[in-house]
């Protein structure tokens, strides 16, 4: 199959700017990912070392954008320029019309609706700019915060998948939700 190439895309919302991670973001990403909640509910390494933030910025995001298979954004508050979270869209290997959305928020900036605002922008980008048919949200059962963001962003819950989502070698039961291009019409 011919390799896809894509340029990083910046998205702007009322209060936020979402752009590809840069070298200068490494310290803030490293600090944010020390949070036990991020380590508990996502696949970031645990413990989270500075090299993990370097890998995120220099390898994962660069390669992800180059191939288009894993588009990663750092999310910033426009007013202060502070890092408030991250968003990602990973294309499904077996279905070019489908991607999985993911996110985390910097602890100090939670509860302001930022993750929902960013998730809406990323979802719109995926369905409208990339022309995807279906976006999936997957979270380990019990992650009520992420589920609230997904529901507020328009994702419809589809059910619970048993022993589905791998985290550091352990499989968890997971909630699955989706947003379709046709849901936006
Ligand atoms: C889940 C997470 C991203 C939420 O981020 P956030 O910036 O606080 O989300 P928002 O401010 O956009 O919240 C949206 C809604 O979710 C609700 N919410 C947030 N955390 C919640 C929780 N733990 N339980 C229930 N509802 C929650 C908020 O109250 C808000 O609803 P409201 O507008 O009616 O008050 C954040 O807690 C986080 O980073 N968790 C750890 C990493 C993670 O779980 N990532 C997702 C993996 S699938």
Question: Residue with the nearest Cα to atom 21 of ligand 1?
Answer: 145
Give Rg (Cα) of the chain: 15
DSSP state for residue 181 in the 8-state scheme? G
- For the entire predicted model, the pTM comes to 0.96
Nearest-CA residue for atom 29 of ligand 1: 111
Least confident stretch, 3-12, 132-141, 147-156: 3-12
pLDDT, tens only, 151-165: 999 999 999 999 999
Distances (CA, A) of 13 to 70, 159, 183: 21, 30, 20
Residue 162: count other Cβ atoms within 10 Å of its Cβ. Answer: 10
Q: Is residue 3 over pLDDT 60?
A: no
Q: Which residues pair with 99 in a beta bridge?
A: 91, 135
Express each pLDDT in 70-91 by its tens digit. Answer: 999 999 999 999 999 999 999 9
Mind listing the pLDDT tens digit for each residue in 86-140? 999 999 999 999 999 999 999 999 999 999 999 999 999 999 999 999 999 999 9
Cα 152 from chain centroid (whole Å): 15
Measured from CB, residues less than 6 Å from any atom of ligand 1 are 37-38, 41-42, 103-105, 110-116, 139, 143-146, 148-149, 152
Task: Enumerate the domain spans of the chain.
Answer: 11-184
Q: Which of 128, 74, 83, 120 is nearest to 101 (CA)?
A: 120
- How far, in Å, from the CA of 85 to the mean position of ligand 1? 11
Q: What's the gap in Å between 139 CA and the centre of ligand 1?
A: 12
pLDDT given at position 2:
45
**Bond prior to 65 in cis (omega within 30° of 0):** no
Mean pLDDT of the chain: 96
Tell me which residue has its CA closest to atom 48 in ligand 1: 139
Centre of ligand 1 to C-alpha 131, Å, is 27
Q: CATH topology for 11-184?
A: Aminopeptidase (3.40.630)
């Amino acid at each position: 199959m011919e390799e896809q190439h894509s340029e990083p895309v910046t998205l702007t919302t009322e209060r936020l700017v979402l752009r590809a991670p840069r070298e200068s973001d490494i310290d803030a990403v490293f600090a944010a990912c020390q949070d036990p909640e991020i380590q508990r509910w996502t696949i970031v390494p645990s413990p989270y070392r500075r090299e993990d933030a370097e890998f995120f910025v220099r390898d994962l995001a660069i390669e992800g954008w180059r191939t288009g298979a894993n588009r990663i954004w750092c999310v910033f508050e426009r007013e202060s320029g502070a890092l408030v979270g991250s968003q990602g869209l990973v294309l499904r290997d077996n279905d070019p019309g489908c991607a999985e959305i993911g996110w985390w928020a910097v602890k100090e900036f939670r509860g302001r609706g930022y993750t929902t605002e960013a998730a809406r922008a990323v979802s719109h980008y995926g369905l409208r700019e990339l022309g995807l048919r279906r976006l999936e949200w997957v979270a380990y059962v019990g992650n009520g915060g992420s589920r609230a963001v997904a529901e507020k962003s328009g994702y419809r819950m589809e059910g619970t998948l048993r022993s589905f989502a791998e985290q550091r070698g352990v499989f968890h039961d997971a909630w699955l939700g989706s947003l379709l291009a046709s849901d936006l019409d």
